[in-house]
Amino acid sequence: MKVVQIQFTPWDKIYNFNPVDSVLLVGDYVIVKTEIGTEIGRVIGFTEVIATVMAKAKPEKQDDTTQEKISESIMQDDREIKPILRKATTTDLEKVLDQKQKKKALDYCKKMVNKYKLPMKLVDVNYSFDGSRVTFAFIADGRVDFRELVKDLTRHFNRTIRLQQIGIRDEARLCGDYGHCGRPLCCGRFLSELSSITSEMAELQQVAHRGSERISGICGRLMCCLAYEENGYEELARKLPAIGSEVSVKGKKGTVVAHHILKKSIDVKFPGENGESSTVVEVDLKKDRN
């Protein structure tokens, strides 16, 4: 089953909806009914429900029982995916708050945050399409007790108030900027989901020694682009002898102590002879190893 991926705000997660008979393209705006009200969202992509379920299952062997479970999961997903009501019209888009209105709402909320001395930074505000709910996005180091703030905002806006804590990477995506490469941030241009970037990726690509500042983005987290070439580095690394393994180089046996993946070379430690200390030599696998 083909479903449409919809996002209501740049800092919110992605939701799947049934397109029904709608003909949609990436970038189109649609009206949908959610569990908490009517919303207007932007189409950011398309996917298959079967592919999603299969990815979650990841069985080693798909016997008859496994196939039955997958089929059952697909049926459940079909029932849970809500339909798109219609494609947004020009009139619908005119109802969306402009920047001036959003700034006014944010300014009032910031004033109240300062009043209650809450350790949080407001980032954005979003009004639901039906006007029944206002959601303020914020970042904070930990949990924040904002119950009094919500009461004040509810009285002022006369709407249901939601305060949603987002990550610092979401803030960078929303605000936009330029990366070390001189180009606009990937998260703001084409990354629909922010995947986990680990220190193991930096170590595999042998850039961890450069220091966290040089391999971190403006959000302070490891750069998303470390994930782009991970598979390539893993494939190259598999072609090299494992660290700790014993190799023979020009008739001498030594132990692999390091890899130079892009150079396709390794550091080999040879034991010392006649009381001499051991030596480490970089070996080009294309030339020096026999």
Same domain, residue pair 89 and 35: yes
- 207-234: per-residue pLDDT in tens? 888 888 888 988 888 998 999 999 999 9
Q: Under a CB-based contact definition with an 8 Å cutoff, are residues 43 and 27 in contact?
A: yes
Task: State the CATH number of the domain containing residue 110.
Answer: 3.30.300
Q: Would residue 176 be called left, alpha or beta, if left means φ above 0 and alpha means ψ between -120 and 50 degrees?
A: left
Same domain, residue pair 257 and 196: no
- 185-208: per-residue pLDDT in tens? 888 788 877 788 889 999 899 888
Same domain, residue pair 103 and 88: no
- 93-136: per-residue pLDDT in tens? 888 877 788 899 999 999 999 999 999 999 999 998 988 899 99
% pLDDT > 90, the chain: 35
Same domain, residue pair 273 and 228: no
Last residue in a domain, options 56, 71, 94: 94
> Can you say whether the dihedral through the CA atoms of 30, 34, 38, 40 is positive or negative?
negative
* Mean pLDDT confidence for 145-149: 93
User: In this structure, is residue 207 part of a structural domain?
Assistant: yes
User: In this structure, is residue 122 part of a structural domain?
Assistant: yes
b/e sequence 22-52, b meaning 16+ C-beta within 10 Å: bebeeebbbbbeeeeeebbbbbbeeeebeeb
Same domain, residue pair 90 and 6: yes
Domains held by the chain: number: 4
Band of the pLDDT at 288, cuts 50, 70, 90?
A: low
| Domain limits for position 213 | 179-235
Regarding predicted confidence, which is higher, 119 or 277?
119
At residue 280, the pLDDT reads 87
